[in-house]
Structure 1
Amino acid sequence: RNIIFPIFNTYPLLTKKYYNFEVFQKCLFISENNELTKEEKFVMISDLIEKSKFRSNLSPIWLNSKENVISKPWLIGFIEAEGSFYITKKEKNRFVHGFGITQKRDSHVLENIRKILHISTKVKYNKYQFYSLDTTNSRAIENIIQYFTGSHNTNTKFKSIKGLEFRIWARSYIKHKGNFIKLEIIQKRMHFLKKKIKVE
């Protein structure tokens, strides 16, 4: 409580989780209130949870800020959890690089990411009831690589295995774009890497 609450109060969440955290915080305060009976606590907490179901998906941070609230560190962390750098077979003898990211509710977050990374593809709502931003456009891929590596292709700041995934992906685009044989081999390596991570 003394560690987590100050962090999220100083750096508010940008997705619907803003309201989840708000409800969680209020529920904790209610549960710790010794002046309330168990029955009163139950009623108050139940009421909070029920009302939260009808809250907007839009974090108030978006309404109160005139500038884009997504920072580069935030975007890196978000992609660590939700994003995918991949290579896919487009045609019989053609492999292309792709980038994808999905969200259950916060389409506005994907729309802002789309603008930051200069991706022309529109955010879509798919049959699985998820919003997705996905592109294999060469210009967009180059914009993404540039954004995360800088003009000198320096190391990205991804902290997890996503950093390795990104480096393999970006390097293969720069060195082997259009090379069917090389990209097929690298695609298999990336698939193996992802499967290994899931097993571990």
Structure 2
Amino acid sequence: MTDGDGTFNVYTNMNNMKIIFTYKISLMSKNTQLLYKIKSYLNIGSVSYNNKNNPNMVSYKVRNKNHLLNIIIPIFDKYPLLTSKRFNYLKFKTCLLISEDNNLSQMEKLIKINNIKNIKLMDNYMSDAWNMIIKNENINYNTRKTMMTSSAILTLNVENIKKIMTKSWLIGFIEAEGSFFLTQKSSNRLVHSFDISQKLDYIVLYGIKLLLNINNTIKDRKTYFKLETNNSKNIEYIMKMFMYADHKSMFLGMKSFEFKIWVRSYFKYKNDYNKLLKVREIMMKYRKNI
């Protein structure tokens, strides 16, 4: 969930010498129960609805420095983020440790922290979590095209990917970034589709492609990368991957509802255009009301 919808923010104010740290996951309001589940699991933080920019958003936040240092930081040190969120996390952690340094004055802390905040993400950044199965220095790309054709990435296989990309991680990431839907293939044909997009982190989509056994190539849409499939074998593989033996969904948020409708309509109404059209209308209406 954090790799998809999480943020690590450091707020500084030179006028009142203030430093505030916030770890946050923000979701649409229909996913409130999922944030309360995370809060219950960690037993820290708060769930807030007061988002002025988007009243339909709800956020889980942790601001207590002791909780950040003793609960949040150990989680992400043990299970490193796989996307470029890792870059933000490492800056956040460094700033948090600086704020705890009793050998520095408050002004010295502010100056150091602001300098770190100003460090920009490199275009070809890759989380060091991938170093376990691939060496960063082996990827020497400066364009999106060379990134997509890098031999260091293309030689990855399912077994290496599983070492760092667990099913639990995949469920959380798809909960945040994936989509199950029906797409129009012709005037009287609807098919089940799955897609997931990323602005950066091509390697993450490549790992997901391998884990989900998707044959399609990852598309470069200039401003983002997209992995999509409507191949029946791929779709059935995805459905099986995220269902328990009793056919219950492994997703815990609003994706669970979307996934259940998607799966049921596949086995019950596949090739029945009129039935699938009604199902698609239900799914689209549900998303609009999120």
TM over 0.5: yes
Say whether residues 1:77 and 2:172 are aligned partners. yes
1:181-196 alignment, distance < 5 Å: 181-196=274-289
Deviations 1:166-198, CA, capped at 9 Å, x for gaps: 0110111111111001100000011111122x2
| % same residue | 41
Post-superposition shift, 1:51? 3.6
Higher helix fraction (1 or 2): 1
8 Å contact kept, 1:124–1:133: yes
8 Å contact kept, 1:23–1:52: no
Which residue is equivalent to 1:5?
A: 73
Say whether residues 1:164 and 2:257 are aligned partners. yes
Q: Which structure 2 residue ranges, 5 or more long, are not aligned?
A: 1-67, 135-159
Which residue is equivalent to 1:145?
A: 239
Say whether residues 1:49 and 2:123 are aligned partners. no
Higher strand fraction (1 or 2): 2
Which residue identity is paired with 1:43? I
Matched position secondary structure for 1:3: helix
Which residue is equivalent to 2:187?
A: 92
> Quick check: 176-185 or 47-56, which moved more?
47-56
Inter-partner Cα distance in structure 1 for 2:224 and 2:95 = 29
Inter-partner Cα distance in structure 2 for 1:28 and 1:55 = 25
Which residue is equivalent to 1:116?
A: 211
Which residue is equivalent to 1:180?
A: 273
Say whether residues 1:126 and 2:194 are aligned partners. no
Inter-partner Cα distance in structure 2 for 1:60 and 1:94 = 44
Inter-partner Cα distance in structure 2 for 1:55 and 1:79 = 24
Post-superposition shift, 1:131? 1.0
Say whether residues 1:34 and 2:34 are aligned partners. no
Question: TM-score when scaled to structure 2?
Answer: 0.63
Which residue is equivalent to 2:83?
A: 15
Deviations 1:131-189, CA, capped at 9 Å, x for gaps: 11111112211111121126x56212100010010011011111111100110000001
Deviations 1:21-66, CA, capped at 9 Å, x for gaps: 1110111111232322344333322332344523853111211247
Inter-partner Cα distance in structure 1 for 2:126 and 2:118 = 18
8 Å contact kept, 1:95–1:180: yes
Q: Which structure 1 residue ranges, 5 or more long, are not aligned?
A: none
Matched position secondary structure for 1:122: coil
8 Å contact kept, 2:87–2:121: no
Report the RMSD for the aligned CA atoms in angstroms: 1.8
Inter-partner Cα distance in structure 2 for 1:20 and 1:40 = 21
8 Å contact kept, 1:23–1:49: yes
Question: TM-score when scaled to structure 1?
Answer: 0.90
Number of aligned residue pairs: 195
Say whether residues 1:155 and 2:223 are aligned partners. no
Which residue identity is paired with 2:208? I
Say whether residues 1:136 and 2:230 are aligned partners. yes
